[in-house]
Chain A
């Protein structure tokens, strides 16, 4: 069964420093997609970054980068130059591959990030 694991319930980082949020996944499907979403206290799930299983390079979007290690089945999110506004819950999610075209997302438990001034 497909599964996403986020082992860090909470993380602290000093403002302007970089932080890595861990995500490991389990799937037997060779085709899949990995996503990171940010959820502030307001509740809205904000899309940050996407990595396809066949992508050769790690995805980057501004201050966000995804450290994709396929053999280890990990897809860690790296946030550079943390800002106070980065304080939120972060979710790693996986989209099913060829067995489903619907893009159903499977989420991890989330990691709460707090940025200290």
Chain B
């Protein structure tokens, strides 16, 4: 059973550049959530995608955008990178239950982004 996969593992960018991170959900899952984890902190929710639409968004600027594809995989795009965007970006997948609620989230290994 394939778990959540993310690519790339590490990424180094300079200020002002744009970056795209990718995530493939666990087999059977239809929902992808993205989190940002700064060094020494707990993860912070960026947004969640379900049925190719953004379902909920956390307190992040519009520079952060995403997309979900028909195969449920997802991309996180960050424009105009700032030094403060340096973090571990975690993708989590889950399944929407019959009642519409989202089940337990399973995380991928993350992408470590460094902005110089």
Contacts and interface: CB of A to CB of B under 8 A. Distances in A.
A91 B42 contact: yes
Secondary structure at chain B's binding surface: helix, strand, loop or mixed?
A: strand
Q: Which of B33, B43, B55, B56 has the most CB of A within 10 A?
A: B43
A101 B110 contact: no
Contacts, number: 69
Interface in A22-38: 35, 37
Contacts of B100: 101
Interface residues of B, number: 30
Interface of A: 4, 35, 37, 42-47, 50, 91, 93, 95, 100-110
Given A102-B33, A104-B58, A109-B41, 11 more contacts: A45-B90, A46-B107, A47-B106, A101-B100, A101-B101, A102-B50, A102-B55, A103-B33, A103-B94, A107-B43, A110-B41
